[in-house]
Amino acid sequence: MLTEPQTRYVKSGDAHIAYQVVGDGPADLIVVRGYISHVEVAWESPPLAAFYRRLASFCRLILFDKRGTGLSDRVPEDRLLTLEQRMDDVRAVMEAVGSERAALLGASEAGPMCLLFAATYPERTLGLLLWGCFARYDWRQGFIGRYWGGDTVDDALDRLEREWGDGGDLAAMAPSVAGDDAARRAWGRAQRLAATPTAARALLRMMLDVDVRPLLPAIRVPVVILHRVGDIAVDVTHSRYMAEHIPGARYVELPGDVHVPWAGRSSSGDEILEEIREFLTGVREAPEPDRVLTTVLFTDIVGSTERATELGDRRWRELLDAHHAAVRRQLERFRGREIDTAGDGFLASFDGPARAIRCAEAAIEAVRGIGLDIRAGVHTGECELHGGKLAGIAVHVGARVAGQAGAGEVLVSSTVRDLVAGSGLEFEDRGTASLKGVPGEWRLFSLSGAAT
C-alpha cells in the first residue's frame, strides 16, 4: 500500500512549485490537474488517492501544483499567469525529478498548456492523455455558464468569487455525488485550500481567454482523448473537435456525466485507467521530430540603405556591429535562439511567443539608443527542422509580418495574439493583410503600451 509521498519544491522563475513523486514504473506520467489542486489534500480523498495509487502501480507518477494554487507560490494580484510560465513550471519539475521524457495527463483546463507543451517540446513528450479538455473554452457550454450563470462572463466570475469555497459547483463537477453533504463540504474545503477566490477568478479568466485551436494540426506525439458524454463542466463537443483536428489522435468517448476522472465508481473509471495503462506500457520509441511548433521573430533595420550611403562603408559596418551586439544581448536575455543573420536583419526562434514579443520590444529600445530604428514581426507555427535551420510556411509568414511593420513597431499574427492571452500584453488591431507568397488573408496586431 503506497503512503502519501513527500512534498518537495523546485524554483521555476520567481516561483516555488510544489511536487510529489510516487511509484517507480518505467514510464513517467505527469498529472496536470484542472484549474485548482493541492497535492497533499488530494490524498485525503479516498477515490482520488485510489486513482493515484493505481496509476503509480505501472508508472512513475509525478504530481504538482500549478503556480497560484495549492502548496505552490501564490501569484501577486497584479501579475497575470501565462501558458509559457506554466510550461516552464512543468519543465522545472521534470528537471527536478530527472525526467527526460514524460507523458502528460491533462485534465480539463490543463488541456491548452499540455497541447502547447507537446507541440513545443515533442522530444520531451512521450505522449498526451487529455481528459475532459478543450482547445478553446466556450463559457456557455461549461460549468462557468451552466452553474455560475449570468448574462456575461464577468457576471459568472463575480458569482464564482462570492461563492468560492462552498462546494456548490460540485453539481457540475460530479453530479452523481452533488447531493451528498459530506462530499460537498469536502469539495468546498479542497477549493479553499487550493486557491483564494481572487486566484480562482484569475485562473478561470485566463482559461476563457486562451485559444490553442491553431496548434492542433502541429501536434506530432501520440494522443489519446477521453471524455464522458454527459460532462456538464466541459461539453463533449470540445473533445470531438480536438479529435478531428489532431493528426492520429485516438478518441474514447465514455458514458456518464462526472467531469473528474476519479469521482464516481462507475465502470468507466476502470476503463480510464486501462486506457492510460495501455497508452504508457504499449508505446514505442517515437522517432526524432522533424517538425516542431516554434515562435519566429524577424527584425529588420528601417532605412538601412540610406543610412549606409550616408555613413560610408566603414562607419556603417561599425554601426551594424553595434546593432548585432545589442540584438544578441536581448536574445540571450529572453532565451531566444539566433537562426540566421542576413545583412541587417535577424531571424530567431523562441519556445514561447510572449518572450519573443518582449525580446522584440527590448531590441527596438536597445538599438534606438545607438541611433537606429528597427521593425519586428512575430508568428507562431509549425516549422521544419533542417540541422540548426528552420523552414516552412511559418517562417515565410513571420518574415512577411515583419515586412508589414513600421519603424519601432512589433507586429504579430492573430495566432500569437491568441496564445499570449493572460500575459498582460496589449495589442491594436491592424486589420487584415495579404502576405506576399502566403495564401489567404492574415489578421495582424500591433503591440501597444509597455510589455511589462
142: DSSP letter: B
Whether the per-residue pLDDT at 452 is higher than 50: the answer is no
Whether the per-residue pLDDT at 279 is higher than 80: the answer is yes
Q: What was the pLDDT predicted at 269?
A: 55
- Where residue 448 falls among pLDDT bands split at 50, 70, 90? confident
- Where residue 3 falls among pLDDT bands split at 50, 70, 90? low
Rounded average pLDDT over 106-112:
93
Q: What was the pLDDT predicted at 262?
A: 79
Whether the CB-CB separation of 119 and 218 falls below 8 Å is answered with yes
The burial of 1, by beta-carbon neighbours within 10 Å (0-12 exposed, 13-18 middle, 19 or more buried), is given as exposed
How far is Cα 169 from Cα 179, in angstroms, rounded to an integer?
11
Q: How far is CA 409 from CA 183, 277, 326, 335, 341, in A?
A: 54, 50, 17, 21, 20
Backbone angles phi, psi at 72, to 5 degrees: -80, 165
- Where residue 451 falls among pLDDT bands split at 50, 70, 90? very low
- Where residue 288 falls among pLDDT bands split at 50, 70, 90? low
Q: What was the pLDDT predicted at 216?
A: 95
Q: What was the pLDDT predicted at 287?
A: 52
Percent helix, strand, coil in the chain, to 5, is: 45, 25, 30
Rounded average pLDDT over 247-269:
77
**Model confidence pLDDT, tens digit, residues 187-210:** 899 999 999 998 888 888 888 889
Domains annotated on the chain, with CATH: 8-282 (3.40.50.1820), 291-448 (3.30.70.1230)
Q: What was the pLDDT predicted at 78?
A: 55
C-alpha cell of residue 447: 503591440
Q: What was the pLDDT predicted at 267?
A: 42
C-alpha cell of residue 153: 462572463
Which amino acid is present at 91? R
Report the chain's mean pLDDT, rounded to a whole number: 87
- Where residue 77 falls among pLDDT bands split at 50, 70, 90? low
Contacts for 386 with CB less than 8 Å, ≥ 6 apart: none
Whether the per-residue pLDDT at 253 is higher than 80: the answer is yes
Backbone angles phi, psi at 351, to 5 degrees: -90, 10
List residues bridging with 131 in a β-sheet.
107, 226
Q: How far is CA 152 from CA 142, 144, 146, 296, in A?
A: 14, 10, 12, 36
C-alpha cell of residue 302: 528601417
- Where residue 123 falls among pLDDT bands split at 50, 70, 90? very high
Q: What was the pLDDT predicted at 365?
A: 92
